[in-house]
Structure formats: structure tokens, C-alpha cells
């Protein structure tokens, strides 16, 4: 065998060889000792994680790539079959969500920004994932009207226990749109799994209102999770300078933005009339002032005895993982974890094994797994 061919064979074998297990870092918190393991890295601004029944893990990269972690290794080639995606500002390929019956129908839902005419907006589509490609892709939702703004696409997805699909949409940087029921910006919408509008949506019979709307008055919701005991859909959203909020979604409720906010404008001036509360609008269950820029949210599983039922929220600007202890529907304790890692936390998920999984939002982003000790 020629030397060049031999060297090529060695390179191929090394690339196929199982990687050495990543070293875990042991850490302490107020109630739970845990370890942190880097599962994958060198991802370009990863945005969302999704776990499949066969053990595969999907990761979206905001720039428009869908990646697969298989047998503990990030696969070198992205998934094919995605529609055209506009990677612009805070937009791109965003959230991922397998159908509740994914094992039988192979349907993967994903949100992304794409063009409509002269502008672009949040879209939700689904397709069948065969392990390497998406096929039969169909667009189920697009947040109209489109605009040319670079920010606030929102875009978390969740299925509740009844099979309804919830989609968050940001205000696209135009705050007054959040109060306009004829506009899908600044809203949470509720759909059937095939994109049809449920017959009991709260604004179905309201003249001039978009029937997809479930709640309104949102700024930029980038976290959504279903409570494991009550089945309630929880969200959080970015405030401006202060006023990041956690809310429990109720049909037809106005969550206030921009009429009510606990933050101020980036210029330092008050927003609107400076109201902090309003009798016709919901107060947040919890808020952060100054802002931590929350993204991703999950309730801990019973794999963590000291954290069971606690709510975990990633922080982008705050560069930490926030742990919130709940009692009687209120937050009674907050702890900030992983601050020494100095990483922007974009997504927080509970894996099939009960571990907490995180994404860090960087040009060389990581997949992290937190395990109980």
C-alpha cells in the first residue's frame, strides 16, 4: 500500500473511532450536587434541542442548518430538505418539536424566519424525518403581516396534553402590534397539529381579530414549557431594560405589553404612560429587573431529587442558568447556576433520561448535559 493511501485510511479510521468520553465537571447548588458534560461543540449559534425515540438528538443552528447527534457524536453533514430560511438578525432556523406520536408518524415541527413578499416573518412547518432528510414539508403557519425588522421573532413551540400546538411570536420590534388583535405579532397562537384553528380559540368570533390568537400583549417570548402536573402552558418573555416576565397562559388574556411593563426603554425613558399594572391585564408570575434575557425553559424531572419540580430558565445576557423554586404558584427561591462558565444559555430541555440539557449561544456553541450526583 502506498504511503499516501495508508495515511488516508488512518484518517478515515480515526474519524470513525468512537470519541473519548468528555470529562464531567462536578458542581454544587443549594439543593443538588450535579455534573456538567460537554456532549458536542463547534455548533454555530445553536437554538433548539429535540430528542427522538431512537436516541437521536436534533439541534437547530440559527444560520439554517439542522444537525444530528447520533451515538454521542455530532454528525458531519446537516439534514437536507429544509425550506428556504432567512438568516437575518435574530431570525433563522429556530425551535424544534417532534410530534407527540413521532415514533409512528416521524413528523418534526420547526419554526424559522422566511420571506413573504417584501418582508419576512415567523413560520412554522412540519416534515417527515427519515434520519437524514426531511420530506413532505408543509408550512402550517406564518405570522402576518410580514415586516423588515431584524428582531423579536419569538418562536418557541409546545404541544399541550390535549394535542394543541402553541406558537410564540414576538412583536418584531414594533411594540404597538402586540395589542392589535388583527396582527399576529406579539401573540401566542394555538393550532391543531395540522395547522387548523381550534373551534374554541378565544377570538374566533371577535370581529377583526385573527382566529389563531390564544393570548396577546407579549413582547418576545423565547421560553415555553408545559407544567408536568397541572398541564398549564408556561412562557417567559424578554422585557426591554428590565421586566423579563414569566407567565401562565390563559385563553384570551392580555399580558400587557407595551401598555404595562416593569422595564424601561433602552433610551432610559419610560414606555407609554409608565404603567406597572393594569386591572384588565395580567401581572407576571415573576419578573427580572434588570433583565437576564431569558431563553429556553424546562421543569426538572425526578431524576434530580433536590430539584424536582423546580423551573429552569436560560439567561443570554445574564450568562447563567436560573433555578426557580415554586410553592403554591409562586417563586419562593432563585439560584443562579453556571455563572463561572460565562456562557449564553439559549435552550433548556429535559432529556428522556431526566437529565437537563442546555445549548450555549455562540459562534462555537455547545450542547451540555447536567446529571445528578
Q: Is 204 exposed, middle or buried (0-12, 13-18, 19+ CB in 10 A)?
A: middle
3-state secondary structure at position 324 = strand
Active site residue 192: no
DSSP 223-275: EEEE-TTT-PEEEEE--SBS-EEEEE--TT-B--TTTB-SSB-TTSSPSTT-B
Closest C-alpha to 214, from 225, 232, 224, 200? 200
Alpha carbon distance 291, 288 (integer Å): 5
Phi, psi values for residue 246, rounded to 5°: -110, 130
Instruction: Decide if 307 contacts 33 (C-beta within 8 A).
Output: no
**Catalytic option among 152, 236, 287, 320:** 152
| Per-residue cell: 277 | 399594572
Instruction: Decide if 322 contacts 313 (C-beta within 8 A).
Output: yes
Question: Can you name the residues that pair with 357 across neighbouring β-strands?
Answer: 349, 369
* Catalytic machinery residues: 152
Amino acid at each position: 500500500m502506498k504511503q499516501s493511501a495508508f495515511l488516508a485510511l488512518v484518517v478515515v479510521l480515526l474519524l470513525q473511532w468512537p470519541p473519548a468520553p468528555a470529562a464531567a465537571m462536578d458542581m454544587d447548588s443549594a439543593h443538588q450536587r450535579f455534573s456538567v458534560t460537554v456532549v458536542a461543540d463547534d455548533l454555530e449559534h445553536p437554538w433548539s434541542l429535540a430528542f427522538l425515540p431512537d436516541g437521536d438528538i436534533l439541534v437547530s443552528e440559527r444560520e439554517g442548518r439542522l444537525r444530528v447527534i447520533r451515538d454521542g457524536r455530532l454528525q458531519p453533514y446537516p439534514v437536507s430538505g429544509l425550506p428556504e430560511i432567512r438568516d437575518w438578525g435574530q431570525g433563522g432556523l429556530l425551535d424544534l418539536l417532534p410530534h407527540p406520536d413521532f415514533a409512528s408518524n416521524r413528523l418534526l415541527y420547526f419554526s424559522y424566519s422566511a420571506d413573504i413578499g417584501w418582508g419576512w416573518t415567523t413560520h412554522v412547518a412540519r416534515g417527515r424525518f427519515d434520519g437524514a432528510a426531511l420530506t413532505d414539508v408543509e408550512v402550517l403557519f406564518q405570522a402576518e403581516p410580514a415586516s423588515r425588522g431584524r428582531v423579536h421573532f419569538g418562536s418557541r413551540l409546545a404541544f399541550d396534553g390535549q394535542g394543541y400546538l402553541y406558537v410564540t411570536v414576538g412583536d418584531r420590534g414594533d411594540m404597538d402590534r402586540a395589542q392589535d388583535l388583527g396582527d399576529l405579532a406579539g401573540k401566542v397562537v394555538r393550532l391543531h397539529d395540522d395547522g387548523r384553528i381550534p373551534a374554541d380559540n378565544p377570538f374566533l368570533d371577535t370581529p377583526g381579530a385573527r382566529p389563531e390568537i390564544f393570548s396577546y400583549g407579549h413582547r418576545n417570548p423565547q421560553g415555553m414549557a408545559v407544567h408536568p402536573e397541572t398541564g398549564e402552558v408556561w412562557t417567559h418573555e424578554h422585557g426591554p431594560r428590565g421586566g423579563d416576565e414569566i407567565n401562565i397562559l390563559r385563553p384570551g388574556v392580555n399580558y400587557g405589553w407595551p401598555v404595562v411593563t416593569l422595564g424601561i426603554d433602552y433610551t432610559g425613558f419610560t414606555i407609554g404612560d409608565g404603567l406597572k399594572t393594569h386591572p384588565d391585564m395580567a401581572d407576571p408570575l415573576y419578573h427580572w429587573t434588570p433583565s437576564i434575557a431569558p431563553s429556553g425553559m424546562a421543569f426538572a424531572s425526578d431524576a434530580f431529587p433536590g430539584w424536582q419540580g423546580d423551573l429552569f430558565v436560560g439567561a443570554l445576557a445574564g450568562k447563567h442558568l436560573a433555578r426557580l423554586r415554586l410553592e403554591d404558584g409562586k417563586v419562593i427561591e432563585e439560584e443562579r447556576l453556571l455563572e463561572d462558565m460565562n456562557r449564553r444559555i439559549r435552550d433548556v430541555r429535559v432529556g428522556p433520561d431526566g437529565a437537563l440539557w442546555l445549548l450555549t449561544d455562540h459562534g462555537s456553541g455547545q450542547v451540555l448535559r447536567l446529571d445528578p450526583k
